[in-house]
Structure 1
Amino acid sequence: MTNTSRLPPQTDPPLSPRLTLPTMYDLPSEDPEEPGLPDEYHGYQPSLLRQTFKPANFTPEEIFIGADLNIYYELRHPNWYKRPDWFAVLGVPRLYDGDKLRLSYVLWQEQASPFVVVELLSPSTEDEDLGRTVSERGKPPTKWQVYEQILRVPYYIVFSGYTNEMQAFRLVAGAYERTELTDGRLLIPQLELSLGLWQGSYENIERTWLRWFTASAELILTPGEEAQQQAAVAQQEVVAVQQEVAAAQAEVAAAQAEVAAAQAEAAAAQQRAERLAAKLRELNIDPDQLE
């Protein structure tokens, strides 16, 4: 019979810290009005969009790209702003006054609204990003209202990095309409570009990314990808040159072999002639007198 008095008391297994600690969306940021701090994805994804946004009909100096930057849109309420995850403005200088980096984007100074805005869904902003929230009297308008009715952004894209779902909206007669994708991409004729999903590695992170393509669905390369492509082309050129050198060396070796064979044949013929001449002399015939 087992003496149960000596058995240690049973305890529940410890809970995983992942189950007990709050997530990034549960912790307040330094600003009490901010629901949470941006995660890593909100840093990488806008960077990829910036690096691949290359409209064919605009030079880089005619485009301003902002990421997590305040847009001040109402002169009567100069403290009101929205902060898109990514946006691009066409026809304005990349640098303010030609030599300054912008601290914010002030609409009444710039006189140009963003042409395209991208919002990356997070649990705390999903309802507002998709226009489900209602503006309260006396408070700033919602994000959807600002993009649609005040800034009148022609193209508004919402992307979920959790479900890899892309939703595109186009401004038609002053209101956003859901736009169907073409082969999984949003075609924007004015830019000669398209926006779509790409499965690949960016910054050594393999996942589904949102990135820009040409209108014909060709990838627009990042500087890193361009460098890799140029290195691959250079390597191919080196291999081609090495192959040409090897072929030339083979031709030289073949020619040398032919010369050596000809020299050996000539030496053999000379030996035969000398032996024949010696035979003739044995017969008292002068080979030099023979025709």
Structure 2
Amino acid sequence: MVNLTEKPTKISRTAKREDLPTMYELPSEEVGEAGLPDQYHPIQAQLLEETFQPATYPREQIFSAMDLNLYYDVEKTKRYKRPDWFGVVGVSRLYEQRELRKSYVVWQEEVHPFIIVELLSASTQREDLGETTRKEIDEPPTKWEVYEQWLQVPYYIVYDGEQDNFRVFELENNRYQELEINNNQLWLEELGLGLRLWQGRYKGVERLWLRFYDELGNLIPTEAEEAERQQQRAEQQQQRADREQQEKERSQRALQELRDRLIAMGLDPDNLPNNR
């Protein structure tokens, strides 16, 4: 288990924080990189973003993003990686608590991502799995090196949507070690949150998806699912109210029929004789 009180090892730097570029000065778009390879990647990443709701942190201290530049090197500030999805806890949901982020700049935020998910594709699989190396010493570090050594992200997950399985790497002694997971489920005790595969419909597409669940095993609902649940609850409450009203009306009719029969018999319903 990762100790959230221990901060990742700081990368040595010579520049002062106030001299480093800010989120506004760094590009937020991909420069010279290919776009996402298919429709599946952004939809799966959006499902992760919608359902990332750790129980151990207030919502205003939870941030997650899909396909957002993640700047990590204070010496070469233009270097970044762009995870398919990542989650951060203990940081304001909004940049400086006031606006949406254009990118995530580590030296400004001073909180590293807690979990990163990469969705495997043929063009990125070797790099995502740490099977590539730098050819030249001055080349940017690989994705694996950045997540493991620079950012020291506690949990790195790769999901193969074609093979329908995901692999989990946990940071131990500054190196990633693969965890053995059962039934394609991972429980993150530090977050009070789990991650598993789910067969269902999302954005109108039926397939196997990767999404988060709570300590009771219940799926964290998306906004659409929560809205549907609220509507169902409202309909059920209305149905109960309708049944209660119908029962009340039936009782009133039965009482009125009894009064009418008594009157027809020459009796006063409000002043019946005592049979004692």
**1:196·1:212 contact (CA, 8 Å) conserved in 2?**
yes
Letter in structure 1 aligned against 2:103 = S
Rate the CA distance shift 1:244–1:51 in 2: closer, same or farther, 3 A: same
Rate the CA distance shift 1:69–1:109 in 2: closer, same or farther, 3 A: same
Q: Secondary structure at the match of 2:176?
A: strand
Match for residue 151 of structure 1?
151
Q: Secondary structure at the match of 1:229?
A: helix
Q: Distance in 2 between matches of 1:115 and 1:224?
A: 26
Q: CA deviation at 1:64?
A: 2.0
Match for residue 185 of structure 2?
185
Query: What CA deviation, in whole Å up to 9, does each residue of 1:161-183 have, x standing for no partner?
Result: 21211111111111111112244
Alignment of 1:1-291 (within 5 A): 33-137=32-136, 138-266=138-266
Q: Distance in 2 between matches of 1:218 and 1:65?
A: 21
**2:53·2:62 contact (CA, 8 Å) conserved in 1?**
no
Q: CA deviation at 1:60?
A: 2.1
**1:35·1:124 contact (CA, 8 Å) conserved in 2?**
no
Q: Distance in 2 between matches of 1:247 and 1:183?
A: 49
Query: What CA deviation, in whole Å up to 9, does each residue of 1:126-163 have, x standing for no partner?
Result: 11111111222221111111111111000111111212
**2:165·2:184 contact (CA, 8 Å) conserved in 1?**
no
Q: CA deviation at 1:258?
A: 1.3
**1:188·1:215 contact (CA, 8 Å) conserved in 2?**
no
**1:72·1:80 contact (CA, 8 Å) conserved in 2?**
yes
Letter in structure 1 aligned against 2:71 = Y
Q: Secondary structure at the match of 1:39?
A: coil
- Tell me the TM-score normalized by structure 2: 0.81
Query: What CA deviation, in whole Å up to 9, does each residue of 1:45-65 have, x standing for no partner?
Result: 111111111111212221221
> Quick check: which one's helix share is greater?
1
Rate the CA distance shift 1:31–1:102 in 2: closer, same or farther, 3 A: closer
**2:197·2:210 contact (CA, 8 Å) conserved in 1?**
yes
Q: CA deviation at 1:31?
A: 7.6
Q: CA deviation at 1:35?
A: 4.5
Q: Secondary structure at the match of 2:266?
A: helix
Q: Secondary structure at the match of 2:265?
A: helix
Rate the CA distance shift 1:225–1:31 in 2: closer, same or farther, 3 A: closer
Letter in structure 2 aligned against 1:231 = Q
Q: Tell me which moved more, 256-265 or 85-94.
A: 256-265
Query: What CA deviation, in whole Å up to 9, does each residue of 1:198-217 have, x standing for no partner?
Result: 11111111111111101331
How many residues of Structure 1 are paired with residues of Structure 2 in the alignment? 238
Letter in structure 1 aligned against 2:197 = L
Q: Secondary structure at the match of 1:235?
A: helix
Structure 2 unaligned blocks of 5 or more? 1-28, 268-276
Aligned identity (percent) is 45
Q: Distance in 2 between matches of 1:56 and 1:136?
A: 43
Letter in structure 1 aligned against 2:104 = Y
Letter in structure 2 aligned against 1:184 = N
- Tell me the TM-score normalized by structure 1: 0.77
**1:181·1:187 contact (CA, 8 Å) conserved in 2?**
no
Q: Distance in 2 between matches of 1:128 and 1:59?
A: 34
Q: CA deviation at 1:230?
A: 0.8
